[in-house]
Amino acid sequence: MTRVYRKNLIKLTALSVLTFALNGCSSDNNNSQVVQQKPQERPNILFIMSDDHAERAISAYGHQLIQTPNIDRIANEGMRFDNAFVSNSICGPSRAVLMTGKHSHINGFIDNGEDTIFDGSQMTFPKLLQRAGYETSVVGKWHLGSDPTGFDNWQVLVGQGEYYSPQFKSKTGIKQYDGAYVSNKITDIVLEQLAERDKSKPFAMLYHHKAPHRNWMADVELLAKDGFPKEYPLPATFNDTYHGRPAAKHQDMRIEDMYLGWDMKLWPNEYEKETSTGGYRHAENFDPRKANKRFEAHYNRMSVEQKAKWDAYYKNNAKDYQTVKDDPTALAKWMYNRYLHDYLATVRSVDDGIGRVLDYLDDNGLADNTIVVYTSDQGFYLGEHGWFDKRFMYEESMSTPLVIRYPNVIKAGQVNSRLVQNLDFAPTFVDLAGLSVPKEMQGLSLKPLLNGEISPLKAAGSQDWRTSLYYQYFEYPVPHSVMPHYGVRSETHKLIHFTAKGKDFWELYDLEADPSELKNQYHEAGFEQIKADLHQQLIALRKQYQVND
């Protein structure tokens, strides 16, 4: 519980003022301008998003892989969503969806292809807030190709961004911060912009982290904090055989096939050279610095002092590898633990930065009237099914963490089990700012879930909220050979249609009986009615969301 929140729990007058501000104002449907509200009465918005952060790497979700006390603060002082999902589990497209409130096939940004550029001329929620008098800004990862529009201030990473000595692009050009670590620098800029903001206006700030995106280069100051080697429990599905699931078998996402240099940090020592078939062979006098130019380029962004700490930490990595390289089972387990430690170390920097920003809100009297959202652009596999990465409509990838704190409206400590989607962010922010939600936004405002108008828990037979979600993934075959697919997720079941290279097949899962989605029930007896119902829901959703292919 924040300091400001503790002091103001009994200030019921603040809630009354906010209720009037959110529900009593009028707006112009043509330009979405607030007519009767004063700027200072409208809530600030701090939208924090990381990249590839799995629920299982957040302690607020009941997991013990890592402690994330600052993300937990948001959850404990607000609402945790246990059924939050994305509509297309991949970085750029997910960001385009949250900006527009429209599915990928409508906003035009369907994949991360080199030719895919976000159309910045289309309507986005920052533009609507900016027109309504908000000071808008975005700091950190952007990854949409075109320059940001609708923002008074923006400093975004070039491309995917670098973990060390990152480059930021702004209206004035590109600036490199030599020796800086990306998560810390993003937070520094956020705090600077908050301090220098126009205090006569409410603010809407997008605070977007690069971490924990691949290749998981942690802050050297934190690398050894928890010690390594360390063994993490293998997920129950780690040795999945993918029986009855052709798409799951076809992918190229297995941890055992990760790059030993790029992902496992096995250099500058000799290691196994990757073969064209995805396996590894021993190579005498093999110099990974020459073979892995990409990683060398990232490594060389460090300062001399940072390199010394990095080398000291990873110096035994090659020796450890030599002890397991001839045992496939031991090697896969070693790679899993190596991957998980580096991934979680980057998460720690994200959480630390969030703590600094939450403290700023507390210390400057901004906490009560600021909507703080933490989420990820999608979920991520932490060894489930033997995988890393995302993309699939399966639960670990389609789901995303979501916690929201808004002391003036949200009662602390709530858990919400309704189906929500990243499609909902744009209409939610517009609605909470007192504006009319444009009809072209395809998501739902979460406002009635936040203020208690709709219960966070569904009553039997209740139809007061959506009961199914639409998903569609496009990018194929590179980089991970995940087949294009679309489908529907209901509250209890999932239907997926995969199509690629002449292959066309369906999968159906009973999420209550089979939460790990190991058994495809599409052709099983006893599922005829469920299958028919899901097909009808899918047809209806594709019509609702104007899917023409």
DSSP string, 83-116: SEE-SS-SHHHHHHHHHHTS-HHHHS--S--TT-
Judged by DSSP in three states, 238 sits in: coil
Looking at residue 88, what is its pLDDT?
98
Q: Measure the CA dihedral 539/391/93/511, to 10°.
A: 50
Q: What are the backbone angles phi and psi of residue 71, rounded to the nearest 5°? A: -65, -40
What's the token pair of residue 493? 């079941």
The pTM assigned to this predicted structure is 0.90
Query: CA angle, 354 as apex, 407 and 38 as ends, to 5°?
Result: 40
Domains of the chain: 3-216+354-450 (3.40.720.10), 258-340 (no CATH), 484-544 (3.30.1120)
The verdict on whether omega for the bond into residue 477 sits within 30 degrees of 0, i.e. cis, is: yes
Looking at residue 292, what is its pLDDT?
66
Q: Measure the CA dihedral 351/353/359/364, to 10°.
A: -140
DSSP string, 503-540: EEEEEEEETTT-TT--S--TT-TT-HHHHHHHHHHHHH
What's the token pair of residue 291? 């073979």
Quick check: 251 and 386 in contact, CB under 8 A?
Answer: no
Judged by DSSP in three states, 373 sits in: strand
pLDDT truncated to tens, each residue of the chain (549 aa)? Answer: 444 434 443 333 333 333 333 343 333 333 333 333 444 489 999 999 999 999 999 999 999 999 999 999 999 999 999 999 999 999 999 999 999 999 999 999 999 998 999 999 999 999 999 999 999 999 999 999 999 999 999 999 999 999 999 999 999 999 999 999 999 999 999 999 999 999 999 999 999 999 999 999 999 999 988 887 789 999 999 999 999 999 999 999 999 999 888 899 886 544 444 444 444 433 444 444 454 677 888 999 999 999 999 999 998 888 899 999 999 999 999 999 999 999 999 999 999 999 999 999 999 999 999 999 999 999 999 999 999 999 999 999 999 999 999 999 999 999 999 999 999 999 999 999 999 999 999 999 999 999 999 999 998 888 999 999 999 999 999 999 999 999 999 999 999 999 988 889 999 999 999 999 999 999 999 999 999 999 999 999 999 999 997
The verdict on whether omega for the bond into residue 448 sits within 30 degrees of 0, i.e. cis, is: no
Q: How many CB atoms sit inside 10 A of residue 147's CB?
A: 14
DSSP string, 153-194: EEEEESTT--SBS-EEEETTEEEE-TT-BHHHHHHHHHHHHH
Phi-psi region of 52 (alpha: psi -120 to 50; beta: other; left: phi over 0): left
Bridge partner residues of 487 (DSSP)? 471, 496
Residue 499 CB-density burial (10 A; 0-12 exposed, 13-18 middle, 19+ buried): middle
Buried b (16+ CB within 10 A) or exposed e, 162-180: bbbbbbbbeeeeeeebeeb
Cα–Cα distance between 399 and 287 in angstroms, integer?
Answer: 40
Looking at residue 100, what is its pLDDT?
98
